[in-house]
Amino acid sequence: MIVTLTANPSFDRTIALSGRLERGGVLRADAALEQAGGKGVNISRAASVADVATIAVFPADEDAPFTVALRHDGIRCHPVRPTGEVRVNLTLTEHDGTTTKINSAGATADADLLDRLRTAVSELAADASWVVLAGSVPPGTPDGWYAEVAADLRASGARVAVDTSEKPLLALAAALGEARPDIIKPNSEELALLTGGDPVAIEADPVEAAAAAYRLVEAGAGSVLATLGGAGAVLVTREGAWRATPPPITVVSTVGAGDSSLFGYLLADLRGEAPAERLRLAVAYGSAAASLPGTTIPAPHQARPDLVEVHPVPLDTRPAPASTHATPAASAAREN
């Protein structure tokens, strides 16, 4: 079973524009979609579609429209009493796949809410193969909260995946030795932020991406799945590194593609696949999601791992020069 925690869920509204986005202009829409979402919820949605047992934990009332919508879609939920309404995020997509996102902050969390979420996840982890901590955290949440939850879960027997950004990600990177997540999933910009690298170089060069990711593995992460946009993804473990290139697709919306990639990895792991095959299915799922509108999560038949190429990457394990790269802890110190 996969337990997901979405601490800052959202109603995701996507508007497909008929032309280019123009600031100050009057724009026409080809379509508008709305879906109950958030990164963890998206992974639970993918699991449900794939007939994988899952429970989505999030702050919302039992009878809130958000909870009702998810249960209507067949997703098993564990809502936790919230401090406010679920936020609304807006996504604007253009015909060439360009995506513009406007995210609300969400209701401010207090210590009681964070304790309720933490307790719910810890109790459910006893029956889980994976626990996924995903997305942003609500205002009022300490930067290191995900790192603390991940450390708590080490005694549960469940493996832990973390997919977050900005200060919570930096705090996690600074505490990898204690938190020890089994996998983290940064994109190229996030990987550069954590390691002091160049995001353009990381996305363009799988060897550079693998070297940066390996530094996080050395610091305590079990594995790093780095998604590189149209360049595919890189997976790094202590045993090796691999890169995967996606099949040719027409990009419709990139929203939810990273979530789908992480689910593809987890699904392959639950099937007992080797690391290279986990990466293959991750990229297949991410590519399928990018070819669908809005935050549509692909079904298994829409993911084409047979069209994904996977190759080993030579891994340079020598320490990076201090003058050109920063350690995760140093990056976190600069950010805070």
Instruction: Kindly state which CATH superfamily the domain 2-19+30-335 is placed in.
Output: Ribokinase (3.40.1190.20)
Is 152 assigned a catalytic role?
Answer: no
Nearest to 214 by CA among 304, 295, 120, 318: 318
Of the candidates 12, 163, 259, 269, the residue annotated as catalytic is 259
88 strand-pairing partners: 11
Low-confidence residues of the chain: pLDDT under 70? 316-336
Nearest to 266 by CA among 11, 22, 40: 40
- The domain ranges of the chain are 2-19+30-335
What was the pLDDT predicted at 316? 67
Please give the model's pTM, rounded to 2 decimal places.
Answer: 0.89
What was the pLDDT predicted at 320? 53
Q: E-strand spans in the chain?
A: 2-6, 10-17, 29-37, 54-59, 77-80, 87-93, 99-102, 130-134, 159-163, 183-184, 223-227, 233-237, 241-245, 309-312
